[in-house]
């Protein structure tokens, strides 16, 4: 990761991430552990696009899915009992919800290439809703 990528990552962590983490916790209804593999998300030559890419690929679908699942007390209770952690990473370069999004052992993982299919927020959120509702 070069200097431009490190600067863009730090800016996102300091300026944007705290609000997104608060949104995730608000929608879930409890403090959720977030594990973000920043070095994997920080792909070379895209430093100027991190905020838009990361929001759309990782955070916005997660917030939308949690909002949907936790829309009533039954959903809130199920999330609190069954969700332990959310992981954002880019280890495998996946670019579709079916291959990038999983929910196993209480852990939601979005392992998605941060610069692929960026605008497919709704399909990622819909798939995350589906797997959460099946797994909770």
Q: How confident is the model over 15-48, as pLDDT tens digits?
A: 999 999 999 999 999 999 999 999 999 999 999 9
Q: Give me the pLDDT at residue 1, please.
A: 84
Distance from CA of residue 20 to its chain's centroid? 10
Q: Give me the pLDDT at residue 100, please.
A: 97
Q: For 84-130, give the DSSP string.
A: -EEEEE-SS---SHHHHEEEETTEEEEE--TTSSTT-HHHHHHHHHH
Q: How confident is the model over 66-78, as pLDDT tens digits?
A: 999 999 999 999 9
Q: How confident is the model over 86-115, as pLDDT tens digits?
A: 999 999 999 999 999 999 999 999 999 999
Q: For residues 21 and 12, what is the distance between their CA atoms, to the nearest angstrom?
A: 12
């Amino acid at each position: 990761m070069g200097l431009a990528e490190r600067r863009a990552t730090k800016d996102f962590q300091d300026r944007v991430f705290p609000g997104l983490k608060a949104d995730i916790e608000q929608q879930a209804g409890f403090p959720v552990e977030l594990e973000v593999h920043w070095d994997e998300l920080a792909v070379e030559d895209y430093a100027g696009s991190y905020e838009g890419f990361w929001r759309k690929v990782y955070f916005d679908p997660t917030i939308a899915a949690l909002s949907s699942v936790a829309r009533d007390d039954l959903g809130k209770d199920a999330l609190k009992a069954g969700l332990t952690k959310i992981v954002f990473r880019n280890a495998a370069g996946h670019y579709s919800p079916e291959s990038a999004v999983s929910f196993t052992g209480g852990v939601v993982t979005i392992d998605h290439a941060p610069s692929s299919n960026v605008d497919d927020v709704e399909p990622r959120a819909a798939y995350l809703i589906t797997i959460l509702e099946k797994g909770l």
